[in-house]
């Protein structure tokens, strides 16, 4: 799985030309996701288990009143969290998430984490959905600090001034707490289990938050969770040669092609410089190495960096080859 993620990176086509003959390019490099899946996990079925059966609604309603929720709002919002997961991963990875239309599982309906689903049921759900793994929203619960802030404001006003405040809060924070589990039916293991708390702030209008505040927070929480399955990126800098030694129109043409992301044309020009075996060949070989790394071919990049140093003594290429060797070991 590691090499799948590391092969996908993009080059930021931004050259910052310094004085003289040097320049550089920045690359976005991926880092492994927090959740690194086995190679055989490609399709994941996603199920909401955070709901309760009808006969358990009384306890859930009491909790909703005490925490400042609107009774029943978590049911709708939990589905928004599911949608956030779906939108956050599909078309952004080789992983595909499917949501069954008819399946509902019931859990505690509170922040209390339910027991594991038995493996026979996990296998059955995965087989019905033709999926390799089961991702479950085990619990979902929301809170808003509107009531707490209003009470605090009034208490403070009475203590300080002796009378209630006429000022209404201007903002409210909505938070959702959720618990996710990823089941692997083949290995009968839990590949991920994560307790998540996600916050969003909203401006109040006449003392009330937007009607979609909870839904927005839940959806964003789903996006935030599924990012655990996606690589993150960091920026690296690669030195290149802007000019060859002396006057060399072919070398210059290669640089101009690289500046507009025509990497194949740039490589062709620099290969011509190398073929002519002139005093710019080492610089051209180094640039070819960087170009291949931009294109995602670490093997060819390393070959050209090694050639630039061993055949032409380009010192910049020696250090670059070491960087590429470390990258290759990481990709294996």
Fold type of domain 43-230: Rossmann fold (3.40.50)
User: In the sheet where 22-31 sits, what is the strand order?
Assistant: 10-15, 22-31, 232-241
User: Which of 3, 5, 9 shows the shortest CA–CA distance to 33?
Assistant: 5
CB of 30 closer than 8 Å to CB of 9: yes
Answer whether 180's CB lies under 8 Å from 225's CB. yes
pLDDT at 7 over 50: no
The token duo for 311 is 């055949």
Over residues 65-70, the mean pLDDT reads: 38
What's the average model confidence in pLDDT over 241-248?
88
What's the pLDDT at 165?
A: 52
| Shared fold status for 2-32+233-331 and 43-230 | no
For residues 236 and 183, the model is more confident at 183
What is the overall mean pLDDT for the chain?
Answer: 82
Q: How confident is the model at residue 154 (pLDDT cuts 50, 70, 90)?
A: very low
Q: Are 100 and 129 in contact, with CB atoms under 8 Å apart?
A: yes
For 76-129, what is each residue's pLDDT tens digit? 789 999 999 999 999 888 899 999 876 667 776 666 788 999 999 999 999 999
39 CB contacts (<8 Å, ≥6 apart)?
1, 4
pLDDT of residue 168: 60
Q: What is the pLDDT of residue 167?
A: 58
Which residue would you say has higher pLDDT here, 153 or 123? 123
What is the arithmetic mean of pLDDT over 292-315?
Answer: 95
Mean pLDDT, range 245-274, rounded to an integer: 94
pLDDT exceeds 80 at position 53 = no
Quote the pLDDT of residue 273.
96
What pTM did the predictor assign? 0.69
Beta carbons within 10 angstroms of residue 229's beta carbon: 23
Domain ranges of the chain: 2-32+233-331, 43-230
62 pLDDT band (50/70/90 cuts)?
very low
Beta strands in 77-223 (DSSP E): 96-98, 133-144, 171-184, 189-203
Amino acid 23: pLDDT: 85
Q: What is the mean pLDDT of residues 11-18?
A: 44
Q: How far is CA 5 from CA 9, 32, 204, in A?
A: 8, 7, 42
Give the CATH number of domain 2-32+233-331; options: 1.25.40.10, 3.40.50.10130, 3.40.640.10, 3.30.360.10.
1.25.40.10
């Amino acid at each position: 799985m590691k090499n799948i993620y590391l092969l996908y990176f993009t080059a930021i086509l931004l050259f910052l030309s310094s004085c003289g003959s040097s320049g550089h390019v920045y690359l976005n490099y991926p880092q492994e996701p927090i959740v690194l899946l086995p190679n055989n996990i490609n399709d994941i079925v996603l199920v909401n288990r955070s709901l309760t059966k009808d006969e358990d609604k009384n306890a859930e309603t009491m909790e909703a009143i005490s925490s400042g929720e609107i009774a029943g709002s978590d049911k709708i919002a939990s589905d928004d969290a599911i949608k956030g997961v779906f939108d956050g991963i599909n078309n952004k990875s080789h992983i595909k998430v499917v949501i069954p239309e008819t399946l509902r599982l019931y859990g505690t309906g509170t922040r209390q984490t339910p027991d594991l689903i038995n493996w026979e049921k996990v296998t059955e759900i995965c087989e019905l959905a033709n999926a390799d793994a089961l991702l479950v929203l085990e619990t979902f619960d929301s809170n808003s600090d509107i009531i707490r802030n209003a009470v605090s404001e009034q208490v403070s006003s009475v203590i300080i001034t002796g009378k209630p405040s006429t000022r209404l809060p201007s903002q409210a924070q909505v938070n959702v707490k959720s618990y996710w589990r990823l089941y692997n039916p083949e290995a009968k293991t839990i590949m991920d289990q994560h307790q998540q708390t996600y916050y969003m702030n909203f401006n109040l209008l006449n003392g009330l938050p937007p009607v979609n505040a909870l839904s927005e927070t839940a959806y964003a929480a789903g996006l935030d969770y599924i990012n655990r399955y996606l690589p993150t990126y960091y920026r690296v800098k690669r030195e290149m040669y802007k000019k060859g030694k002396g006057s060399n129109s072919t070398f210059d043409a290669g640089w101009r092609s690289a500046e507009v992301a025509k990497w194949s044309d740039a490589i062709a020009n620099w290969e011509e410089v190398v073929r002519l075996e002139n005093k710019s060949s080492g610089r051209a070989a180094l640039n070819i190495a960087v170009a291949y790394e931009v294109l995602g071919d670490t093997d060819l990049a390393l070959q050209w960096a090694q050639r630039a140093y061993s055949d032409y003594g380009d010192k910049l290429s020696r250090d670059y080859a070491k960087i590429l060797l470390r990258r290759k070991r990481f990709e294996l």
